[in-house]
């Protein structure tokens, strides 16, 4: 009877909104896409020691530059996936992924922030 179920698998595949086995819904993915456009500095990662260290280094870099030190730490995997990041920790500045897969030092974050935000005279 496999002939009668022809095409059903394709219909079922279309219903899923995510390639992983998590509970990502269309609404969650849409909300994550909308959040990407917001200005600010974000750390993407599940909350491991490397993610936390990147957050500390980023806060120190922001203090050195005299910028607002408010950082959002994104831990939800569907939101991380919306950025296209597969390796954490990741640093996002103004909606753009500027680093992923490693812990940056303070001087590296300062350089990235200057480049991305155009702070040449700071």
How does DSSP assign 49-61, residue by residue?
HHHHHHHHHHHHH
**Catalytic pick among 18, 20, 24, 48:** 48
Q: Residue 81: how many CB atoms within 10 A of its CB? A: 18
**Catalytic pick among 19, 20, 24, 51:** 51
Residue pair 97/84 in contact (Cβ under 8 Å)? The answer is: yes
Residue 48 is among the residues annotated as catalytic for this protein: yes
Phi/psi zone of residue 108: left (φ > 0), alpha (ψ -120 to 50 degrees), beta?
Answer: alpha
CA torsion, ordered 88, 89, 92, 95, to nearest 10 deg: 30
Which residues are the active-site residues? 48, 51
């Amino acid at each position: 009877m496999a002939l009668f179920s022809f095409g059903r698998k394709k219909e079922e595949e279309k219903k899923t909104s995510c390639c992983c086995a998590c509970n990502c819904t269309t609404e969650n993915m849409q909300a994550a896409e909308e959040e990407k456009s917001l200005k600010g500095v974000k750390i993407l990662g599940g909350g491991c020691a490397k993610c936390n260290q990147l957050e500390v280094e980023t806060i120190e870099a922001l203090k050195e530059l005299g910028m607002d030190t408010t950082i959002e730490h994104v831990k939800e995997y569907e939101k991380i996936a919306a950025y296209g990041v597969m390796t954490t920790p990741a640093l996002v500045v103004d909606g753009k992924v500027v680093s992923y897969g490693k812990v940056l030092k303070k001087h590296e974050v300062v350089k990235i922030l200057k480049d991305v935000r155009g702070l040449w005279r700071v």
